[in-house]
Amino acid sequence: MRLYAKQVAPAWWTLAVAGLVAVLLGFTTLTVRAEQTQTTNDGVYSAAQATRGDALYQEQCAECHAEDLSGGGAPALAGDEFIGYWDMTPVSDLVEKIVASMPATAPGSLTREQGADITAFMLQANKFPAGDADLSSDDETLQAISITKAAGASAQAATTAAPAAGATGAAKTTKDSVYSDAQATRGDALYQEQCAACHAEDLSGGGGPALAGNDFIGYWDMTPVSDLVEKIVSSMPAGDPGSLSREQGADITAFMLRANNFPAGEADLTSDDETLQAISIAK
């Protein structure tokens, strides 16, 4: 008597299981493909919806992001940087970001329908084509639409960016203790006065994006510190962009570097543009 004899399944059972597996695999494949069935190049919103979104945007968002979406104390919502940041992301993420964090003074007060309308306006402002139907507010539907650069844009952007990347010749990174603790403390006081209303006291974001954490570092990774200082000086605070000096921009940058756990050193971060171009932000 063989207690551990191998039992062979009947042929019909083997065929049935094989057939079921094939069906399930086919279904899984179709499901995965269905997850990304459209892009923002496919006319996923209507012109009428974008017009509604324009009115809502001017009322709820323009104070921080500017009437023409060019940015202020908060980032621009139109242009190459915006599309580059959101490229290959489902539209659901953008709608959720709007609904959860805007406006800065009352985050979470917009409905999903209003978030979809504002998104439609942003798509129109970024030259994505309109279609016949409104952009849905349904999360599952929005997950199937990806934000995608126009054809050829990626290659053009890469060609344009290549010389700039080589031109910086960065000799240091933010890991090399490029600011002092005293400077970061000055920057903290300035930040709370000039920036916290949009970006939160702890840099966690609100109407403006978070200025600390993985998303922030990922966005600025391998960028010269000069670009960050210039962004601060030229566009902050939202109510009076351009009012900060380069020295104040450098101080606020030092505070942001400390908040992102980059080490402090003995000397202040300079405000000299050429010197800052030689320091890259690094993960």
pTM (two decimals): 0.51
Lowest mean pLDDT of 166-175, 177-186, 223-232, name the range. 166-175
**How many Å apart are CA 129 and CA 10, to the nearest integer?**
58
Indicate the helix (H) or strand (E) that contains 208.
none
Distance CA 147, CA 65 (A): 20
pLDDT in the model for residue 113 = 97
**Looking at residues 167-195, what average pLDDT do you find?**
88
39-150 and 169-280 agree in CATH topology: yes
* Phi/psi at 46 (5° precision): -105, 155
More confident residue, 128 or 283: 128
User: Looking at the predicted structure, is the pLDDT value of residue 199 above 50?
Assistant: yes
Distances (CA, A) of 280 to 58, 181, 260, 276: 36, 19, 14, 8
Q: Which residues pair with 38 in a beta bridge?
A: 145
| pLDDT of 17 over the 70 cut | no
pLDDT at 99: 92
Summarised one tens digit per residue, pLDDT across range 83-111 is 888 888 899 999 999 998 888 788 889 99
Give the HSE-up count for residue 86: Cα atoms under 13 Å, Cβ half-sphere.
28
Q: Is the pLDDT of residue 239 over 70?
A: yes
Q: Which of 1.20.120.550, 1.10.760.10, 3.40.50.620, 3.30.1550.10 is the CATH number of 169-280?
A: 1.10.760.10
What is the pLDDT, as a whole number, of residue 275? 94
Res 14 pLDDT > 80: no
In this predicted structure, which of 64-68, 77-81, 158-162 has the lowest mean pLDDT? 158-162
pLDDT for residue 23: 36
Stretch 131-137: mean pLDDT: 96
> What is the domain partition of the chain in residue ranges?
39-150, 169-280
Answer with the residue of higher pLDDT: 124 or 165. 124
Mean pLDDT of 118-142: 96
Lowest mean per-residue pLDDT among 93-102, 163-172, 192-201: 163-172
Q: pLDDT at position 111, please?
A: 96
Q: Indicate the residue type of 268.
A: D
Q: Diameter of the chain by CA atoms? A: 92
- Residue 27, pLDDT > 70, answer no
pLDDT at 33: 35
Instruction: Identify the three-state secondary structure at position 224.
Output: strand
Query: Where do runs of H (alpha helix) occur along 110-224?
Result: 112-125, 139-143, 153-168, 181-194, 196-199, 214-220
Query: Is the model's pLDDT at 251 over the cut of 70?
Result: yes
Q: Which of the listed ranges 15-24, 96-105, 181-190, 216-225 does the model predict with the highest average pLDDT?
A: 181-190
Tell me the mean pLDDT in the region 63-82.
84
* pLDDT recorded at residue 150: 61
More confident residue, 2 or 248: 248
Q: What percent of the chain has pLDDT over 70?
A: 79
CB-side exposure of 109: number of CA atoms within 13 Å?
Answer: 12
Domain at 39-150, CATH from 1.10.510.10, 1.10.357.10, 1.10.760.10, 1.20.120.1200: 1.10.760.10
- What pLDDT, on the 0 to 100 scale, is given for residue 253? 98
